[in-house]
Amino acid sequence: MAKKKRRYNPNLLRLRHSYTISEIAEKYGVHRRTVDAWKKQGIQVIDESSKPFLFLGAEVRRFLQEKYRMRKYPLKPGEFYCPKCRRPQKSLSEKISTEITNKRLGKYKQVIVRGICEACGCRLFLFSSDRKCQNHTNPGMTKTEHMTTLIGSGDSSLNTDIDRGENDES
């Protein structure tokens, strides 16, 4: 079964052009009934009394942008977005861990905060900076720093490997 597409580019349609249901469905690669459902959800028709129904490109764009805006959830300090619950959730406090990467976000370091959803047990990820990471920290939390170094002889630049901080016992 094909995965349901949830995000449609609102800029595919021209603002001042009018489109039929079939044209909109073809542009976005959806079924005509999907556009009918959008009509019931709030896309305004230019003239209800004439058939085929015509929609102004600006109206379709407004509708799709509003639809995306309604799906956004601002996160409060200490919250993650849970992909399974589809809303902000807190993590189990004993399961939060941070990994400080060597990547820079301006003058701060990038931090990956991991946790487990309180409601469903799903894995949670949050990309942040070491400055903002204080919102997620607690005394029992584990912190690890991502170490990437070059190893090898100093004679040749071709004889180097990347050591990611793991111990290889080969």
pLDDT of residue 170: 47
The answer to whether position 17 is within a domain reads yes
The answer to whether position 121 is within a domain reads yes
pTM here is 0.52
pLDDT of residue 146: 46
The answer to whether position 153 is within a domain reads no
DSSP conformational letter for 106: T
CB distance 87 to 60 below 8 Å: no
pLDDT of residue 26: 93
pLDDT of residue 161: 57
* Domain co-membership, 42 together with 63: yes
Give every residue of the chain whose pLDDT is below 50, as ranges.
Answer: 1, 139-141, 145-148, 150, 170
Query: How many domains does the chain divide into?
Result: 2
* Closest-CA residue to 78 (of 62, 64, 89, 67): 89
* Domain co-membership, 140 together with 89: yes
The answer to whether position 102 is within a domain reads yes
DSSP H or E segment with residue 80: strand 79-82
* Closest-CA residue to 35 (of 58, 15, 55): 55
